[in-house]
Amino acid sequence: MKIVLVGSGGREHALAWKMQQSKLVREIIAAPGNVGIAHEPKCRLADVAADNIEAIVKLAVSERVDLVVVGPEAPLVNGLGDKLRASGIRVFGPSQKAAQLEGSKAFTRALLKKYRVPSPEFEVFDDAEEAERFVLSGEGPLVVKADGLAAGKGVFVCKDRQAALDAVHSIMRERIFGPAGDRIVVEEYLTGEEASFIAITDGFTVLPLASSQDHKPVLDGDNGPNTGGMGAYSPAPIVTAEVYEDVMNQIMTRVVRAMEREGCPYLGFLYAGIIIKNGEAKVLEFNVRMGDPEAQPLLFRMDTDLVELIVAALDGKLADVDIDWLLQDAVCVVMASKGYPGSYEKGKPISGLEEAEVMEGVKVFHAGTARNSGGYITSGGRVLGVTGRGLGIANAVDLAYRAVRKISWDGVHYRTDIGKKALARV
C-alpha cells in the first residue's frame, strides 16, 4: 500500500513510525511531515500543508495512493475526508458532519444531552453580554470553552466568577481564538481525575485502545494554562475494569450509535476526554483523531499491525479483530520551548538528541524540530515527545526522564511529574 499521512506533529511521527512497520505498507508520504518522519523507513515528505485540502487531494490522486490517514483535527473539520472520498480515495477519518464532535463543542454538548451520555451541565452563548450575565448569576467555579477549534488551548478552568468573566472577555471580546470564539460553552466544573479513552470505530463496532492519561496544564501539579498536552502515559490505573466497562457502554458505544441515528456515521479514531470520580465517568470533550501526546505511548505499546486495524475499519470488519498490547508501560514527556503555550522563540540548537535516541526502550518522537547545517533546532512550541517503555510504570517513568535529561537547548521546558498520578495508584 501507498499511504498519505496528513500532519506534522508528534502524533504523526508516532503514526508514521508504527505504520511503516506493517507488511502491507510500501511507502508513506507525509504531508508535510517533519524531520523525524523523514528518517523513518518507507517514509518521505511532501511539501503540502496539512490545511491545504485541495493540495492534499491532488497529491493523493496524482500519487495514486491506496489510503489517506489524517492526523490533526482541522483538516477533518474542514471537510478533507469528504473531498477525498469524492475523488475515490479511501480515507481513515470522519466526514465533515461527523467531525463536528470536535469542531463544535455546542454540537457535542447538545448531542450528549439528547442521548443521555454522562456529561456536565452547560449553557451556550453567542453574545458576550448574555454570557457575562450568566456568569454573574451564580457562584463557584466554571469551565469556559471556545466553541470551535483552538489547538487544544480554548478551555479555561475558572476557579471563581471573575476568572470566568476574564475568560469570556478574552474569547468573545478580545477574540484571541478568532472565529472559534464566536460562540462559547459555559459548563459546570467537575472534580475528579481526568483520563483519555481512545477507540477505533467503523461506525458500528467500537474497538477501544489501551487506557491513557494526558497532562494538559503547562506546569507541574496541573498548574498554569492549558496546552496541547505536556505528556502522557499508558495504561492509566485510574481506568479500572469497572470504569472501562462503564465508559464503553455509557459513552463510546452510545455516542457512535447516536451519530448514526443523526445521519452522520462516524469512522476513524474517536477520543473521549473523561473525568472520573468515585468510579463514575463523565465526558469533558470529544476529539475526532488520535490524541497528542497520547498517541506516542499508545503506539509504542501496540503489538498489533495498525494498518491492518485501519483496513478492517474501512471494510466494516472491526468486529473480527482484536488489539494486542505489550505488557510494558509507556511514558511520554513533552519537551517544549520556553514561553509555550504563549509566544516562544525558534531556532534554538538542540543537543544530546542522538544520545537519547540510541537508548534501549526509548523512542524520541519529533514535533517542532527542523535541521540546519549545525544539526537539529527548535521550530515549534512542543518540540519533542521523549517516550520510554519499561516493565511497570516506575521503570517507564525513570527511563523517559533519563532520556529527557540527555537532551537540552536554551529555554527548554518540561514537566517533571508525568506519571506521578499513576505511581500513586500502584
Which domains are seen in the chain, by residue range? 2-93 (3.40.50.20), 121-188 (3.30.1490.20), 193-320 (3.30.470.20), 329-423 (3.90.600.10)
pLDDT, averaged in runs of 10, over the chain (426 residues): 98 98 98 98 98 98 98 97 98 98 95 96 95 90 93 86 94 95 94 95 97 95 92 96 96 97 97 95 95 97 98 97 97 98 96 97 98 95 98 98 98 97 90
Question: What is the dihedral sign for C-alpha 45, 89, 81, 303?
Answer: negative
Task: Give the per-residue pLDDT at 150.
Answer: 87
Please enumerate in sequence order all residues whose Cβ is within 8 A of that of 341, keeping only pairs 6 or more positions apart, or say none. 153, 218, 225, 226, 227, 228, 381
The x, y and z cell numbers of residue 305, run together, are 499491525
> What's the angle, vertex CA 146, arms to CA 246 and CA 83, rounded to 5?
80
Neighbours of 178 (CB within 10 A): 12
**Residues present in the chain in total:** 426
Among 245, 240, 244, 213, CA closest to 229: 213
Work out whether strand 27-32 and strand 2-7 pair parallel, antiparallel, or are unpaired. Answer: parallel
Task: Give the per-residue pLDDT at 353.
Answer: 97
Task: Give the per-residue pLDDT at 164.
Answer: 94
3-state secondary structure of 181: helix
334, β-bridge pairs: 385
> What pTM does this model have?
0.94
Q: How many CA atoms lie within 13 A of 410 on its CB side?
A: 7
Beta strands, E only, 177-290: 184-188, 193-201, 206-208, 213-214, 217-219, 223-226, 231-234, 268-277, 280-287
CB 126 within 8 Å of CB 157: no
